[in-house]
Amino acid sequence: MRIETLPLNDTNLANYSTIPISFEVRSRLNIELLDNGFGGMIFREEKVTPTYIKEYDPFEPPTMWPKRFNVAKWAIFLARDGAMPVGGITVAFRTAGVDMLERREDLAVVWDIRVRPECRRSGIGTRLFAEAVEWSKKRGCIQLKVETQNINVPACRFYIKQGCRLGEIHRYKYVSHPATAHEVMLVWYLNLAK
């Protein structure tokens, strides 16, 4: 398997989009507030019945990113097995209008990460994440940030394994969107400066 760094253009984004990002939601992290949050929080994993498929691309497929943002400072890392794309990660950096970047010059954001379902848990995601880390360090970033939700427990475990720490919990981030109003935003940070 080889990993390439590619510029964001229509051809590369269309190729990148062939990698599914959907996953089966089997459990979620229930966040229990103690004393209305003053006494802390407890995360409890609970099964979801029935399970369901979560799909991100219908909301904003990768081919739409250049229409919303100036992606000149972004990078795509694409993992291929032969000619077939099996995984990818996109990193956003110094881009006006990307709120997750917090107007910081020293922060990069994992905008998207995906691995083909049949290739998951094979180390591809870890290799892609390591590429994103090195790319961000070379640009002087001191942190790498990534957003997920409480319904993506495998992703939360993955980010912890990569050394990330939970930095933000936004229990009402998606409340105005009926399809995702039940989800909790979890934002992870990886400190890059040693």
Residues 85 and 67: their CA atoms lie apart, in Å, by 23
- pLDDT for the residue numbered 27: 98
- pLDDT for the residue numbered 76: 93
- The CATH classification number of 2-191 equals 3.40.630.30
- pLDDT for the residue numbered 2: 85
- pLDDT for the residue numbered 6: 82
Terminal C-alpha separation, the chain: 30
Residues 10 and 4: their CA atoms lie apart, in Å, by 16
Q: What is the pLDDT along the chain (194 residues), one digit of tens a residue?
A: 788 888 788 888 999 999 999 999 999 999 999 999 999 999 999 999 999 999 999 888 999 999 999 999 999 999 999 989 999 999 999 999 999 999 999 999 999 999 999 999 999 999 999 999 999 999 999 999 999 999 999 999 999 999 999 999 999 999 999 999 999 999 999 999 86
**Burial (CB count <10 Å: 0-12, 13-18, 19+), residue 193:** exposed
pTM, full prediction: 0.94
- pLDDT for the residue numbered 19: 96
Largest CA-CA distance found in the chain, in angstroms, rounded: 55
Looking up tokens 């940070």 gives: 189
Q: Which residues contact 58 (CB under 8 A, 6 or more apart)?
A: none
